[in-house]
Amino acid sequence: MKSVLIIGAGQFGSNIAKRMKELRCKVMAVDESEACINEILPYVTSARIGDSTNEEFLRTLGVSDFDVCIVALGGLFQTSLETTSLLKELGAKKVVSRATNNVQMKFLLRNGADEVVYP
The 10s digit of each residue's pLDDT in 65-75 is 999 999 999 77
In contact, 100 and 107? CB cutoff 8 Å: no
Q: What is the predicted pLDDT for the residue at 75?
A: 77
Q: What is the predicted pLDDT for the residue at 110?
A: 96
Domains held by the chain: number: 1
User: 24 in a domain, yes or no?
Assistant: yes
The share of the chain scoring above pLDDT 70, in percent, equals 100
Name the nearest CA neighbour of 17 among 35, 43, 41, 39. 43
pLDDT band at 119 (very low <50, low <70, confident <90, very high): confident
The CATH number that applies at residue 103 is: 3.40.50.720
Domain encompassing residue 40: 7-117
The pLDDT of 58-87, averaged and rounded, is 95
d(CA 24, CA 81): 29
Q: What is the predicted pLDDT for the residue at 117?
A: 95
User: 17 in a domain, yes or no?
Assistant: yes
User: 47 in a domain, yes or no?
Assistant: yes
d(CA 83, CA 20): 21
User: 2 in a domain, yes or no?
Assistant: no
User: 16 in a domain, yes or no?
Assistant: yes
pLDDT band at 59 (very low <50, low <70, confident <90, very high): very high
Mean pLDDT of the chain: 96
User: 96 in a domain, yes or no?
Assistant: yes
* pLDDT(42) > 90: yes
Q: What is the predicted pLDDT for the residue at 105?
A: 95
Q: What is the predicted pLDDT for the residue at 28?
A: 98
User: 90 in a domain, yes or no?
Assistant: yes
User: 12 in a domain, yes or no?
Assistant: yes
